[in-house]
Amino acid sequence: MNVAANIFIPPQKEWNKSSSLGSHKSITEHRELDLRRLYWVGPATVAASVLAVWIVQHISLAILPSSLPRFSGSVLRSSEPAVLTAILVTGAVVTFPIVVDWSPTPLSSFHRLALGVLIVSCIPNVIGLLSGRGMDLGMLALMVLHVVAWAVTVTMLTRLVATRRNRTSAATSTS
């Protein structure tokens, strides 16, 4: 896998993977993926996700009653959401070029994978609801933090690494 690869994705649906380093092509959209951008997009994604989670966490603490249940209240009052966000978003940043390298449709594959991870991350909250313990506002706030981290991560990785090609460079590369 070559992280510095440029990947052009024209409108046809086919998969071309050359054996030479750096010439991976996944064809589904009018986008070029410049994985060299991950050198700045990756850290920016981690920082933006942590900041967004921290802001929503503090807004939640400000508007929710102070008598939150012990578990969700203690997690919301700790630095755990920010630390776990930093670790798990770093994992997403590392996973992104792997998905790009292996998938014939990297952007949609990454979107599906990230959505699956989001759903799995909410399972403990759903189990709590189904087990009769019920859903408290703190658990709901924690689920919102999952969605915030997911939204920032997927948006930044897929939009800041993927660039639209202009028509003249697209025409010259297809001829």
Enclosing domain of residue 120? 37-174
Residue 14, C-beta contacts closer than 8 angstroms, at least 6 positions apart: 27, 104
Whether 77 is in a domain gets the answer yes
How many structural domains compose the chain?
Answer: 1
Whether 12 is in a domain gets the answer no
Whether 86 is in a domain gets the answer yes
CB crowding 70-97: b at 16 or more within 10 Å, else e: eebbebbeeeebbebbbebbeebbeebb
Angular region, 125: left φ>0, alpha ψ -120 to 50, beta rest: alpha
Could you read off the pLDDT tens digit of each residue along the chain, which spans 175 residues? 444 455 544 443 333 443 333 334 444 455 788 899 999 999 999 999 999 999 999 999 999 988 888 888 899 999 999 999 999 999 999 999 999 999 999 999 999 999 999 999 989 877 876 776 666 888 889 999 999 999 999 999 999 998 766 544 444 555 4
pTM of the model: 0.76
Whether 45 is in a domain gets the answer yes
